[in-house]
Structure 1
Amino acid sequence: MTGPRHRPTLQLADITREAYIYFGAGATVAWQMAEPGVGRGVARHSATLDRPLERLRATMGYVYAVTLGDDADRAAIARHVNRAHAAVRGPGYNAFDRGLQLWVAATLYRGAVDVHELFNGPLPDAAREPLYRQAWAYGRTLQVPDAAWPADVAAFDAWWEAQARRLAVDEEVRGYMQAVLGGGKAPWWVRPALPLQRLATAGLLPPRLRELYGLPWDAGRERRWQAFRRWAPRLYRLAPRWLRHLPARYYLNQLRRQYRD
């Protein structure tokens, strides 16, 4: 890595509009599903394996609506998510459970920071609190009040570590996650990118979560991961800004055509 690169006043939107956030998508999903209530709900109700690109569009539409959109975008995506969540309930899980929603929102924040630091180096301390407060919008667009979040970054970090210690992955969720990383019914032109996505997913996860999901890790994978960490940021910066921001513009426009009245 050539050194940290941050805007003087970094905003959450500055992170989410960058295409590099897709490298963190798999790890974010893995964190989410390691919460048993989330994992069971997703494994039993999600259409990701059958329609992976459609589900990616819905997920990224949510991220973009919250961080890059206007009030009408956020209202539209909230209505869509609430309709989709209405049937997601069963023994031990309910998509409207505020504790589970807070966990999902927290993983979106943590995942954005992790992948941003992968490509830009450690965040300056002055940027951490404002970014964290901005991320509360991930929960606000669902049913999570601001007061449900830990008060500051230090409190969040302590809460996150406590949550991480209680995560668990059963056979159903493990099999589902491995199938997701295998691509499900993804079209042929997506499949060449899957090995790199699997490497990034496992590389961004701590060893305990890799073990819970049965994701292999050895000296060879570690070498490839370190090479990725060294070269991906340099190559990414060679891409023009319009290309780096193209996925964000595309999916936000898709959301506006599909969900806004």
Structure 2
Amino acid sequence: NPKNLQRILREGILLATGGTAILLQMAHPGVAQGVDEHSNFAYRPSDRLRTTMTFMYCMAWGTIEEKRTILEMVHRAHAPVNGPGYNANDPHLQLWVASTLFVCGVHMHQLIFGQMDPAAEDTLYQEYSVMATSLRVPPELWPENRQAFWKYWDENIKALPISSHAKNVSNDLLYNKAGPWWLRINLPIVRLVTAEQLPPRLRDEYGLKAHHKRYKAALGITRPIYRLLPVSLRQYPVRYYLKDMRKRMDK
């Protein structure tokens, strides 16, 4: 039972990292090209969030059969996503995507609840490897420990270019005009949070502006209020996405 992984994923505040995770993923040119050329992102921006959250929640709480079903669906969806220079099933692309999920999860949890115990974070890191290995990333590709991981992460953050494909996806996400109304009215908040949580170089290359005072003020209000919310409310996204997943599987 991946208790540390569940501890991170059960908090609904994790959804606030959605924009950051997507733009971090798009920093890899292969991921960005695949999404830009093979998805209807501008018209269905919430689909990638739903797919990602369903995948993570299933890996943490799903039955063996549910995990098998979800992974078969993911692999089928990835099969046609390929072209010159990229393939959605490339283990190095999947490693990068899984890495962004770990980074965003840890970052948000520490923002709200404070620094984790190092031993617990070591265990969490190993538990997060399922997000990579379940997508056919060879176990030996997942960095051996947190120190090796952060070396891998920092090297990529310094080197990965923000391509035109990445900027297209960023624009479709942060300035979307075709999505549902509830998404569009929240885009100013999404832009604020996403810009602040991105590494400075990536933020600049995406053409985003930091608003440190606004973000700090918003975080100062959000942190104490969120921690006072009933656990059932904080964990609602887990129940919602798992229920939605099981409903879809029954069809």
Question: TM-score, normalising length from structure 1?
Answer: 0.91
Instruction: Report deviation, 1:171.
Output: 2.3
Report Cα offsets for 1:143-178 as digits up to 9, x if no partner: 112221111111111111111121111223213212
Q: Distance in 2 between matches of 1:10 and 1:117?
A: 17
8 Å contact from structure 1 (residues 75, 141) kept in 2: no
Q: What residue is the counterpart of 2:63 in the other structure?
A: 70
Partner Cα distance (1:172, 1:53) in 2: 18
- 2:19 matched residue in structure 1: 26
Post-superposition Cα deviations, 1:226-257, rounded to whole Å, max 9, x if no partner, equal 11222211111122111111111111111122
Matched residue SS, 1:11? helix
- Structure 2 counterpart of 1:215: 208
Letter in 2 for 1:103: W
Pick the aligned partner of 2:141 from 148, 154, 161: 148
The residue identity in structure 1 corresponding to 2:139 is D
Structure 1 CA distance for aligned equivalents of residues 80 and 130 of structure 2 = 24
Picking from 230, 236, 258, the partner of 2:248 is 258
**CA positional deviation for 1:10:** 6.1
**Secondary structure of the structure 2 residue equivalent to 1:67:** helix
User: What are structure 1's unaligned runs of at least 5 residues?
Assistant: 1-8
C-alpha distance in structure 2 between counterparts of 1:30 and 1:189, whole Å = 21
Q: Which residue number corresponds to residue 166 of structure 2?
A: 173
CA contact (8 A) 1:21 1:112 kept: yes
- From 101, 112, 128, the equivalent of 1:119 is 112
Q: Distance in 2 between matches of 1:259 and 1:84?
A: 15
String of CA shifts for 1:53-112, please: whole Å, max 9, x gaps.
333222211111112222222111101111110110011110011111111111111111
Partner of 2:222: 232
Distance 1:60 1:235 in 2: 23
Determine the structure 2 residue equivalent to 1:134. Answer: 127
Q: Does structure 2 conserve the Cα–Cα contact (< 8 Å) formed by 1:48 and 1:184?
A: no
The structure 1 segments of at least 4 consecutive aligned residues displaced by more than 3 Å after TM superposition are none
Aligned partner letter, 2:23? A
Taking only the aligned residue pairs, the percentage that are identical comes to 39
CA distance in 1, matches of 2:91, 2:188: 35
TM-score of the two chains, using structure 2 as the length reference: 0.94
Where structure 2 has 5 or more consecutive residues not aligned to the other structure, the ranges are: none
- Conservation of the 8 A alpha-carbon contact between 2:10 and 2:235: yes
Which of 66, 80, 88 does residue 87 from structure 1 map onto? 80
Partners of 1:260 and 1:109 in 2: how far apart? 30
Alpha-carbon shift at residue 120 of structure 1 (Å): 1.2
Residues 30 and 85, structure 2, Cα contact 8 Å, conserved in 1: yes
* Matched positions, count: 250
Give me the CA root mean square deviation. 1.6
More helix by share: 2
Q: Judge conservation of contact 2:45–2:172 (CA < 8 Å) in 1.
A: no
